Each structure stands twice: as structure tokens, then as C-alpha cells.
Amino acid sequence: MESLSGIIPSNVMVEILACLPARSLIRFRCVSKSWRSLLSEPFFVTMWLNRSGTSLLVVPLEWENRDQCSLVFENVSIGMKNLNLPVGDKWISVSVIGSSRDGSLICLTGLSYTRRRASKQAIILWSPFTGEVKALGNKGCVHCHRWPVCTESLIQGYNSACCNQYLVHGFGYELNARDYKVVRITYSRGVVREDDSPIRPWLVEVYSLRSDTWKSLGRPSFTWTVRGNSRAFVNGSAHWLAAPTADAPYNSIVAFDMKEEAFGEVIELPRLENLLQFSLNPRGKATLSVSHGSLALIAFGIWNREECGIWVMKEYGVVESWTKQHHIVLPIGSTVRAALGLTGRGKMLLRMVDEKLMCCDVEDMQISEVGIQGRGAESSFDVIDLGGGDPTLRNQAGLDSLLTILNHK
């Protein structure tokens, strides 16, 4: 920076650097101490995030493209590019758990084949900017007499009624410790292997990236049934929709506090009278998301999947603060299979029955294609919003720097 200051004014240099991709900025940190200091300054990070546009990581879950994903920028002038997932040939399926807010660290879960009717599941920490990969294995195997029919359900963290266990994950950032953490909940039938035996929460474990260790929290005291990887990291906690039993509708939200490494009090859903026309059955694909830093609930109509409601919890943990933010009626014929979440720019990502990925503006209800489509009835998508376009968002882990992951080295 000093050697160039006589040629290019400092303010112009900062403007130029703020337009560069993250991969280049990581290299430029090695130029000098002054450049390293500049590229770590909060004002520069904010400027860079504003310029880069909000990006979405899209992972198609299908056999032929299990190592492919796309990075889509909501700033249409940037467009879309393809990335290779760091999974190799041994993984039969992958799913996203979450990411740092800047996209410098992405957490995936992968399912690998081991032997007939058995598979192993691992957590993959991946920095797409540096190419660094860290795989966190899981002890034991998942046994299923219908494998690989239930592969999609296993990788997305719910039981298809044929397996002896399934795993649920959450990912988040503990600000005080400057530490990324992964929580893993194992649901199991225990030593009883009969298909009709109940499946219960069996073990809770937490991984710390800073210490590179797993900690067992033992068998949990709760009996809630939660499904899927956490879609909402808010207020320092990962959140899941919960049901009292495996076959019951969702009736609450459970949260795991990354700092305390414990489950907090159950969070109530909006009052029942406000949800009468909407389905909270797990098959109805209700999901949690984040809207401008607040917890959000997305639910579809009981009889009409073209109708959707979005509620936002204005004051965290206060049931009275649930507010119905949007009531969306999609165009006739827009048959939705599931909502994948909300983006930082007020759009809802939808997976359609024809396996197209669609984007719906929640304000004007305009729906458009993202440009990505599955290749068969068994394909599906996982999507995470990297939130790069709005520095006021606090819905993803890693609030302080786009280079947080490197600071752990």
C-alpha cells in the first residue's frame, strides 16, 4: 500500500480492493502488514459485502451431480457460476447444514456407502475460497433394509420409518469465543431393532472448530422429534421445528445455544387461530428461516400448496411478537414441493414438483426461475443464503470478517 500511495490515492486503492473477489483478497493479505490490517477492518468488510451482492449456494441432491453445486448471485449482473464440491466419488449424497455469513466457511453433511444396507455419515467443513476441506467422521453405521431408497431422507436429517437411526445437525458461530460449532443430534431405536419400536433422541454432541474436538453431552432429557438440518441460526442458537412424537404435527421450536452448549426453553409457534388454514404436518413442508435477523416461519395451506404464509418473530422468544408478514398466493399451476428459505433480499426459494428451482419476491409475489433444475423425480435441492449483500443481516454465523476462518490458523 505504501509503495503505491504515491501513484494511486489511498481512497481509490480501497475502492479497487472492495471490487475484488474474496480469493484475491485472501492472497493480498500476504502483501504487507498494512494490507492485512486494511483487509480485516470492519469498514472495509462492510464495503466489500455491499459490493459483492447476495449469493446463494445451491446443491442439487442427485446421484449424477453429487459433486456439483452452483453459486448464484442475486445481483443479476454477476450471474451464476458452478463449483465442485469437495466430496469425491465415495459420497452418495450431500446436504448443506449452514455457512458463515460471508461464505468463507460452508458446512455440509455427506453420506457414504460402506457395505450392503449400511452407510456412514460425515460432516464436511469447506472453504471454497481456499479449497481447504476438513471431514469430521461419525462413529458407526446407519443400517437400513430399504437402502438406498431412503438416502435422501437420511442426508436431510429425518427418518423414513425404515432405519434404526438418523442424524440432525446445526451450525453456528459463538461470537465471544470466535468459534464455529456444529451440533449433532442422534435419533435411534437403541438396542431394540424392531421397525415398530419408537425412535428417540439418543445422543447430543458438539464440535468446536477452534479446539478441533467433539464433546458428548450425553443422552438428552427431551423427547421432541426434530427433522432436518437447522435452517435458522438466530440469537446465537440453531433452531428446529419440533413435534411431540414422530407422527404428530409441529407444535413448537427448539433451540440449541452455541455458547451455553445446551438446549434452551421451547419457543412457541404463532397462536393456533392464526394457523388454522396452514399445515404444520411434517409432510406439509413447513420450515423455519430467517428474515432480516429475525426468526421466521414459512407454512403452506392445508388444501392449497399455492398459498403460503410467512410469520416473523419481532422480539426473540416472545410469542406475542409473532407477526404475519406476508400472505402469498402463487400463480395457478405453481405447484410447490417445498420452501427452501428466505434470502437476504426478500425473496423465497421454492422447490417445485417439476424439480425446478424458483424464486418468489415476497413483496410483489412475482415468481421467476433461478435457472437450475433437477434431472428426475428423485432429485432435490438444498440452498443456503450466504447473505453477502446486506451487512446488517445477522442470520448467519461469522459476523466479524470475511476472513474469519483464516484467523483460526
Tens of pLDDT, residue by residue over 335-386, are 788 888 888 778 888 888 888 888 888 888 888 888 887 776 556 788 887 7
The residue among 2 and 172 whose pLDDT is bigger is 172
Looking at the structure, tell me whether residues 20 and 83 fall in a common domain: no
Check whether the bond before 201 is cis (ω within 30° of 0): no
User: Three-state DSSP class for 108?
Assistant: strand
| Residues 98 and 172: beta-carbon distance below 8 Å | yes
Looking at the structure, tell me whether residues 387 and 274 fall in a common domain: yes
* pLDDT, position 312: 96
| Tally of structural domains, the chain | 2
The cell for 296 is 421466521
Report which of 47, 54, 57, 56 is spatially closest to residue 19, judged by C-alpha positions.
47
pLDDT at 405 over 60: no
**Cα angle, residue 175 at apex, residues 43 and 320 outer, rounded to 5°:** 100
- Find the CATH number of the domain harbouring 69: 2.120.10.80
What is d(CA 92, CA 15) in angstroms, rounded to the nearest whole number? 44
What is d(CA 59, CA 83) in angstroms, rounded to the nearest whole number? 10
**Cα angle, residue 240 at apex, residues 143 and 219 outer, rounded to 5°:** 55
Lowest mean pLDDT among 81-90, 288-297, 332-341, 382-391: 382-391
Range(s) of the domain holding residue 36: 1-40
**Cα angle, residue 62 at apex, residues 59 and 66 outer, rounded to 5°:** 60
Beta strands in 189-285 (DSSP E): 200-208, 213-216, 225-226, 232-234, 237-243, 252-257, 262-263, 267-268
Looking at the structure, tell me whether residues 388 and 378 fall in a common domain: yes
Looking at the structure, tell me whether residues 397 and 360 fall in a common domain: yes
Lowest mean pLDDT among 106-115, 168-177, 206-215, 255-264: 106-115
Report residue 259's pLDDT band, with 50, 70 and 90 as the boundaries: very high
Q: Which residues contact 379 (CB under 8 A, 6 or more apart)?
A: 60, 61, 62, 355
- What's the average model confidence in pLDDT over 268-285? 83
Looking at the structure, tell me whether residues 64 and 10 fall in a common domain: no
Average pLDDT, the chain: 77
Whole-model pTM: value is 0.79
Looking at the structure, tell me whether residues 33 and 48 fall in a common domain: no
Looking at the structure, tell me whether residues 280 and 185 fall in a common domain: yes
Looking at the structure, tell me whether residues 111 and 245 fall in a common domain: yes
Return the bridge partners of 83, or none.
69
pLDDT at 18 over 50: yes
Looking at the structure, tell me whether residues 357 and 284 fall in a common domain: yes
Task: Look at the block and give the residue holding cell 426478500.
Answer: 346
Looking at the structure, tell me whether residues 115 and 8 fall in a common domain: no
Looking at the structure, tell me whether residues 262 and 353 fall in a common domain: yes
Looking at the structure, tell me whether residues 383 and 240 fall in a common domain: yes
